[in-house]
Amino acid sequence: MADAEFLQAHSRQANADHLAGLAAECALKALIAGFLGGYVNPNDRVVHPDTGTPITMHVNLLWPEMSTIVRSRSASTLMTVLTTEPFATWKVDERYSDGSHLSPNTVSERIVAARAVVGILEQAHIDGVLS
């Protein structure tokens, strides 16, 4: 997350956007495994708490899925972040693009969303609710 913010501040939008998406994805998966009933299987994949299947999706698909996961659990702080879908058009393979299609506003929205999710994860660790 820190690198995404650093790169954004130095007008490196494509790399900032890519890292923001990965930071958000990792934070969501950590929340699933440590707080929302999922776990990490022997193959190091986070397992979906409702379906029992490994989560292989990236943030663009995981973000909307989180509403389903959170709905039946007490995670109201996370639910407020999930009301928008800033990563709907984010794609992991855009790391190969020149980033010219990205607007600074889009990247800013994604940085803010990723920071919010990372902050929720950090607070959960501080509060001792994550293992």
- The answer to whether the CB of 25 falls within 8 A of the CB of 58 is yes
Half-sphere exposure of 86 (CA within 13 A, CB side): 23
Domain of 24 in residue numbering reads as 2-127
For the chain (length 131 residues), average pLDDT per consecutive 10?
Answer: 97 95 97 92 96 97 91 73 92 89 95 96 84 48
pTM above 0.85, yes or no: yes
Number of domains in the chain: 1
Neighbours of 100 (CB within 10 A): 7
